Each structure stands twice: as structure tokens, then as C-alpha cells.
Amino acid sequence: MRIQVNVNGQSREAEVEPRLLLVHFIRDHLELTGTHWGCDTSNCGACTVHLDGEPVKSCTVLAVRTDGHEVTTIEGIWSGTELTPMQEGFHWEHGLQCGFCTPGMILTATAFLEKNPNPSEAEIRDAISGNLCRCTGYENIVKAIQWAANEPSASVASREL
Amino acid sequence: MQVPARFEYEVATSVDEAISLLQRHGPEAHVLAGGHSLVPMMKLRLASPEVVIDIHKLDGELRYIRDDGGVLKIGALVRHQDLLESELIKERYAVLGEAEALIADPLVRNMGTVGGSLANGDPGEDLPAAFVALGCEVVVRGPDGERTISIDDLYAGFYETILEPGEIVTEARISWAPDASSYTKVKRRTGDYAAAAIGVALNMNGEEIEDVRVGMCGVGSTTLRARGAEELLRGQRPDAELYKRAGERAAEESEPLDDARGTVPFKRDLVKVLLGRALAKAVERAEGGA
């Protein structure tokens, strides 16, 4: 089946089998390997992308389901010159160890702060409860999200990375 | 790597078209809503539909939560997250909001739908138990038109509903606005199904429980209603002793299986304890507390 998906602001067309999962479309067809393929069972959240602005687990979405829709991956939130506040938060608060869960964490947390800009710590922990960090680095991930919530205007230009 | 078996993919653009596609493709066709039960089952080859009929484009027809003269109407494509964010649900149907907060995880809740969780027939799904507590009617549409089915009659067995071929769930309809309701659940971790979960809704008459309904999740081959416990509670003044007796009765009515979430005695004990907690919370709410 021929599909046309808006991925990170660009129209991408491909001929795919209906059984192809979105995570494999993104990684293997579009070669956007920032979206990680983790547990394959809708548990870990490493494959999180935004579908029409909402974070979803791309291992559990058929690629054909996204025909005519918008998908944003971790590559798509980076402007090319400046980190987003959430990326900066992960940098400053050391919100990653091995980094495997990080793209999913950042996409989930970014969408979460758009809905809830001033969250409590409990709300943050609930928001990322579908994203697993096997390094168990949750403390700093929570701090990173708090950093982004507290300094929404912060940009890389004002800091030496 | 988990890959579904090959299938033919159709996208419906209206409910009527979905029904005619179901008719045309016959019993090997399956409706895909949010896909967060069906796709994992297809990946594990527990389900191998020959045709998948995707209804996600029917949001315009089927994604709504409205109060229609005191009757709550929830369209089949309402996402779990929509229910969680609904002020109407928060104010009047706590059992739904509390169940939703415990279903899967926030990402899954962005995709999973009300209609899907009703039609799937999984006894471990929370929403059907919450809907049992509220005495919900399920509206289905098929080639011969629309009919409503009481949630008490919807399930014929494990992953089995009484829906006829060609019928799809279009709405959950709740005519009862109870004085108070609540949902309690024990699960091993976020994202897990319930070891046991209980939803209750009740009306008080002075200091007595006037009417009550109890739904049970994860403790039988279908979603269960604890009718014996309900009977025992009606007309009684709530106290710890009553909760204990009702819990024991509900535990007898449950039919749990031994599995990774616990043994039969453990799950029966959970039913007993959770019913007491759910009742205490609902009664407190009805009396004007939290």
C-alpha cells in the first residue's frame, strides 16, 4: 500500500506492507534511527514518537494507520541550531546514562509539559510511567523535566554546552 | 522481532462503510480502533485477521462525550485520555476517571478507545467493570440497524461478546447518575493488568445504601457483576462489618484463575479487601467527603 506521511515537517511517501509497524517504517524505510526499538511489546516506550502531536508507542501502530497524518520523531524536535528546553534539561541534569530511553523520554515529556506546564513531581512521574529507563536513572530524568518546566525560555545560546 | 501475519487493510470513512466492509469480508475481518490490544495480539499471532478494517477516521462520528438530558453518552472512539480529561466525568462519574488513571500507561491511553475496550471482551480490561458499576448500555450498529445491549449481557465468555457479525460498538450510554462511585485496583506495576479490581456506584437514602452496583475485573473469564454482594448491601447502613460481609460474598462470586498475578485465594482476598475500600470511598463521597 502506498502511504504519504508528514514526518518532521516533510512529506514522505513509501510503498509498505500493511503489517509494517510504524517503528520499523521510521527506522528502516526513513532511516531515522533516533527512534529506538526496545521491548517490542508496548511496554518500554523507547519507540515513542508524536502522532498528530500526541506521544504514542510506534511499535504498536501500523505504519499504514499514519497515512495522511503527522509524525514527529526525536530528530524533528531539534531545530538544527538550538536544543529545546527539554533537551537542555536532560543535558544539564544528566538525565541520561546509556541514552537508549532518552528519545522516548524527551518526546513524552515535551508533550506532557505542553499540556501541563507547571507539574508536580508526582505528575511528572506519572507522565513518564510508560517509558522505562533500564539504567533506573529516573531521579535525574525527573530533574531534567523540572529544569525544562522551570526555564522554558532557556536556550543553548545563553549557555556554553 | 514480532511481526503480524499478512492481512488486507481497509480504511472506513463512515460507520456505515465499516459495517458494509465487515459484511463483505465476513468473519475473518476485524475492526481496528486504537489497536492497542489488537496489534499486540497480531504481533504475537494470537490474532491473525485476514482483513483489518481501520475505523480511526470515524472520530467525527464516534469521538464525543456528552450529557444528553442526564444521559451520559460516550462515543466508541473516545480515547482513554479523553475520559481522563473530561470535567463531566470527574464531577459525576468518579469510577470512570479512577479506572482510567489506572489503565495501562499515558502513552497507551492516547491510543486506546472506549469502544475497543468494550468490544475486546478481555476480562482484565478495567473499563467494562467500571461500566458494570454504572449499569451502562452498549449501543451497537449493524446491517439491520441499531440496538442496545446491557453491559450485564454483553460478554459470552473469554474474549467473546454477543455482537453479531457485522456489528460494531458505537456508544456507551449511562442513564444513572449515582450519588457516588469509586474504582480500586491492585496491579503489579504500571501498565500491568489487574490482579483484581472493583468498581462500585451507589445511591444513599439517608444513612442507608439505597442502591448499589459492583463490577469486578480480572477475577473471572468475563467481567463480572457481584449481584449477591449488591443484594446484601441494599437497604443497609454502611459500616466495617457490612463491608466485610459484602467483600466475602463478592469473593465467593468471583472466579479467579491462578496466574502470574496471583493465586486463587490471594485474588479472592483482594476482591474482599478492594470491595470494602471501594465502598468506603464511595460512601464517604456520597456523604459529602472527598
Whichever domain contains A45, its CATH number is: 3.10.20.30
> Which class would CATH give B8-58?
alpha beta
How close B216 gets to chain A, by Cα (Å)?
A: 25
Together in a domain, A94 and A125: yes
In a domain, A124, yes or no: yes
Contacts with B58 from chain A: Cβ below 8 Å = none
pLDDT in tens, chain B (290 residues): 899 999 999 999 999 999 999 999 999 999 999 999 999 999 999 999 999 999 999 999 999 999 999 999 999 999 999 999 999 999 999 999 999 999 999 999 999 999 999 999 999 999 999 999 999 999 999 999 999 999 999 999 999 999 999 999 999 999 999 999 999 999 999 889 999 999 999 999 999 999 999 999 999 999 999 999 999 999 999 999 999 999 999 999 999 999 999 999 999 999 999 999 999 999 999 998 65
- Does any domain span residue A123? yes
Q: Does A17 touch chain B (CB under 8 A)?
A: yes
Q: Is A131 on the interface with B (CB under 8 A)?
A: yes
> CATH 3.30.390.50 residue ranges in chain B?
180-286
Which residue, A76, A104, A136, sits at the end of a domain? A76
Interface of B with A in 32-51 (CB under 8 A): 32, 35-36, 39-40, 42-43
**Are A49 and A103 found together in one domain?**
no
Measured in whole angstroms, the distance separating CA B221 from the mean position of its chain's CA atoms is: 14
Banded pLDDT at A153 (limits 50, 70, 90): low
- Using a CB-CB cut-off of 8 Å, the residues of chain B touching A127 are 106
Residue A157 lies in a domain: no
Torsion sign (Cα): A58, A60, A61, A62: positive
**Co-location of A6 and A47 in the same domain:** yes
Residue A78 pLDDT class (50, 70, 90 cuts)? confident
Distance from CA of B85 to the nearest CA of A (A): 11
| Residue B5 DSSP one-character state | P
Q: Are residues A22 and A70 in the same domain?
A: yes
Q: What's the pLDDT score for residue A156?
A: 44
In the sheet that A54-57 helps form, which strands lie side by side, from edge to edge?
A10-15, A2-7, A70-72, A48-51, A54-57
Residue B246's SS3 state is helix
Q: Which residues of B21-48 are buried (b: 16+ CB within 10 A; e: fewer)?
A: bbeebeeebbbbbbbbbbbbbbbeeebe
Q: Nearest C-alpha of chain B: how many angstroms from A4?
A: 15
Cα–Cα distance measured from residue B135 to residue B224, given in angstroms and rounded to the nearest whole number? 12
Query: What is the tally of structural domains in chain A?
Result: 2
Is there a contact between B213 and B200 (Cβ–Cβ < 8 Å)?
Answer: yes
**Distance from C-alpha of A32 to C-alpha of A50, rounded to nearest angstrom:** 14
Asked if A67 and A95 sit in the same domain, the reply is: no
Q: For residue A158, is pLDDT > 60?
A: no
User: CATH number for the B180-286 domain, one of 3.40.50.620, 3.40.630.30, 3.40.50.300, 3.30.390.50?
Assistant: 3.30.390.50
In a domain, A161, yes or no: no
Of B3, B35, B108, which is closest to A19 when you measure between CB atoms? B3
The verdict on pTM exceeding 0.90 is: yes
Taking the Cβ of residue B231 and every Cβ of chain A, the question of whether any pair is shorter than 8 Å is answered with no
Instruction: List the single residue in B4, B104, B110 with the smallest CB-CB distance to A19.
Output: B4
B239 touches chain A (CB under 8 A): no
Range list for CATH 3.30.43.10 in chain B: 8-58
Cβ of B108 within 8 Å of Cβ of A130? The answer is: yes
Task: Say how many Å lie between the first and final Cα of chain A, rounded.
Answer: 45
Asked if the Cβ–Cβ distance from A45 to B105 is below 8 Å, we say yes
- Residue A155's pLDDT is 47
Are B39 and A18 in contact (CB < 8 Å)? no
Cell of B161: 461478546
Q: Which residue has the cell 526513513?
A: A30
Residue range(s) occupied by CATH 3.30.465.10 in chain B: 63-174
**B110 and A CB contact within 8 Å:** yes
Chain A positions touching B110 (Cβ under 8 A) are 54-56
> Taking CB atoms and an 8 Å limit, are A40 and B36 in contact across chains?
no
A55 contacts B106? CB cut-off 8 A:
yes
Which residues make Cβ contacts (< 8 Å) with residue A150, sequence separation at least 6? none
**Considering CB atoms only, which of B6, B54, B191 is closest to A19?**
B6
The domain that holds A118 is classified in CATH as 1.10.150.120
Beta carbons of A60 and B56 less than 8 Å apart: no
Nearest to B133, CA basis, from B87, B96, B159, B163: B96
In this structure, the answer to whether residues A11 and A47 fall within a common structural domain is yes
What three-state secondary structure class fits B170?
Answer: strand
Question: Is the minimum CB–CB distance between B192 and chain A shorter than 8 Å?
Answer: no
Answer whether B156 touches A (CB < 8 Å).
no
A61 chain-B contacts, CB cut-off 8 A: 35, 39, 111
**What is the complex's ipTM, to 2 decimals?**
0.94
Give the number of beta-carbon pairs within 8 Å between A and B: 79
Domain holding A35, by residue range, is 2-76
Q: What is the pLDDT of residue A79?
A: 78
Q: Is B7 on the interface with A (CB under 8 A)?
A: yes
Q: Do B8 and A129 touch (CB under 8 A)?
A: no
Statement to judge: residues A67 and A104 lie in one domain: no
Domain edge (last residue) among A76, A109, A134: A76
What does the pLDDT read at residue A81?
85
B 66-105: CB under 8 A from A: 81, 104-105
User: 3-class SS at A14?
Assistant: strand
Nearest Cα residue in chain A from B54: A65
Q: Are both A107 and A58 inside the same structural domain?
A: no
- Number of alpha carbons in the 13 Å side-chain half-sphere of residue A72: 15
Query: In this predicted structure, what is the pLDDT of residue B288?
Result: 85
Long-range (24+ apart) CB contacts under 8 A made by B66-72 are B70/B175, B70/B177, B71/B173, B71/B174, B71/B175, B72/B173, B72/B174, B72/B177
Dist. CA A70–CA A56, nearest whole Å: 12
CB–CB of B2 and A18 under 8 A? no
Residue A159 lies in a domain: no
Domain B63-174 sits in CATH at: 3.30.465.10
Which of A41, A76, A111 is where one domain is finished? A76
Judge contact between A139 and A66, C-beta under 8 A. Answer: no
Whether residue A160 is contained in a domain is answered as no
CA A118/CA B141 separation, integer angstroms: 43
